[in-house]
A and B are shown apart, each in its own frame.
Chain A
Amino acid sequence: MENKSRRNFLKIASHALGGTLAAGIAVPVVGLAVHPWMKETVFGTEDFVAIGTLEDYPVGVPKKITITSSKMDAWNVFDGLVMGSVWVVRTGDNSLRVFSVNCPHLGCGVDWGEDVKKFLCPCHEGVFDINGQKLSGPSPRDMYSYETKIENKTILLNYKRMV
């Protein structure tokens, strides 16, 4: 009888201690497992990408440039990654607009027609003016543009945010 109650106690104590032990191991292991949920693991290192100064862009002449930026992927940093291209249009002395090269219709690359002074989409004959406004064609909207700001004469482009 004494043995039975002793063993019952041992059973309860074993469950309690075993549970504590399992929890003590599970907390750090689960904590480690959910790390990517708590913290960003893949991200661009720059919100704003520098694309030169205003002097690089003559007023009224759209210029197509390649955007390079860097990306952190867990422990790795990738520098000089080509993110894509954009059209830069200097609209005035201190103003400019940056358009996505992709047509809002189906994403074809939009060209600048120097002879007609218009943006032309070669796929479905979409036509936009120098301000990206839709003139004709199947596009549902004007050209996409990006947020920009100028700091110390350097033009900074937020490549992540299209407006």
Chain B
Amino acid sequence: MGKLNTTRNVTRPDDVYALLIEAHEGKTKEESDAFNARLILTLMNHIGDEEVIAEALKLAEG
């Protein structure tokens, strides 16, 4: 495959997962959707590499 890292890369997965779920607590469906969109755009900027982002988009298609 290409440059996207698909092996485990998070030291404490339960902590990170809990952060994500907690961030959504108390939000309506619309608020959660908008939050997810902002989150994805922020992470895309952090990644920077267009090729990696394209691979991730493909992976998420299932």
Q: A and B bound?
A: no
Instruction: Point out residues on B near A: beta carbons under 8 Å.
Output: none
